[in-house]
A and B are shown apart, each in its own frame.
Chain A
Amino acid sequence: MNSTDTNNHAPTGTAETVPPDQTASVDGPGPVDLAFPPYLTVIEPGTLERLRGSLAAEASREGLVDVAYRIVDSPVGRLLVAATDRGIVRIAYEREGLDAVLQSLSDKLSPRILEAPARLGSAAREIEEYFSGKRMRFDLPLDLRLSAGFRRTVLAHLGDIPFGRTESYTEVARAVGNPKAVRAVGTACATNPLPVVVPCHRVLRSDGSLGGYIGGLEAKATLLALEAAAA
């Protein structure tokens, strides 16, 4: 309830309205807004997009953007691709919640995050080439700081599984020298901050079933089918 208008009597059945009290109106927006020309309150479509674009460009030039990101369309849905000055730091599927992903980057890396597509031109191009079957290896600088310890060791190995091939969680555990750590390999894949580019989708269960995937099993199946067709 926000009934601060002292002139607001109960309806009496007449159509007459009481002229607004000019001093009371200072307490809230209301009729005063009518005094402003329309272009002060109505912002034309496209204006903010244009301003945000030039803000991102200028902020990048001045070195003020710690995390730049871009949304890339793909056959497995929209992907958020984020980079620091060291390289690609995060790729996220839409189902992870793009706002939640950005908030987590803000907490873990820096809140100086802007959508700056120009900073991610080559990443977007390579990802598009990959999905159109024209690229088998990514040639992008990666920033692996969101992953540490054993998980990072696992991610480093995943990059060695060739395009179009798969390994089982057990094989990966053996390959990284810790054959008993099958579950930990599963966790490392599930928390891979750079899906698609670091190919955790190439790791399956020993019986050949898909296991899990951060982008959903449908996305995992799509990537594997794409690689099988292009390899």
Chain B
Amino acid sequence: MLSDSDITALILTLKLAALSTLILMMLGLPLAWWLARTQWRGRFLVEALVALPLVLPPTVLGFYLLIAFSPNAWLGRWYQHITGSQLAFSFSGLVIGSVLYSLPFVVQPLQTAFSAIKSDLIDAAATLRASPIDRFFNLVLPLARPGLVAAMVLGFAHTLGEFGVVLMIGGNLPGETQVASVAMYEHVDTLQFENAHALAGTLLCLSFVLLVGVYATHKRYSVLRW
């Protein structure tokens, strides 16, 4: 059975995934729209930057974040100045890490969906005097709905699976930075197999159900478009 501390870790993980997904959608929608529509020739540079977390080891991201969060670095200093608390070993720090880590999983499905929308439709709406905001929310988003759902679920699911980044910047604080994957790691390291099985099984079912949801509603959604 799941122990109390494992339930705490699971709830924290779901909170982290939900909040990260929300922020990712707010960042990802305009970014993906711009990437899908821009004629700028340097677009591929931004695409490569967005895709970096797909190929970088999470430990690399964790290492850079640990340095950036330090009071000796501008980000850590600025955050401490504004909020009075530090970024490392905090839930906010994990949110920043997760947003960076799951960015491609949100941006790429959105970009694919936006690219598939024919310009004629948008132009037609424009000639009917729909404002850009109106066009985006009442035409583009409904048309891109499958991509939107995929982006949300993939962003959420990918954050659930986060481990390396959290291990490096979290400090393993119960209820604050001890997410399910880190709790799992601790169980295995201390040979507590009953707890490990309970937590692993829960995460396995959760991830599977999430992905079944995506694949049942959309035929195929590949994150990496070759």
Are the chains A and B members of one assembly? Answer: no
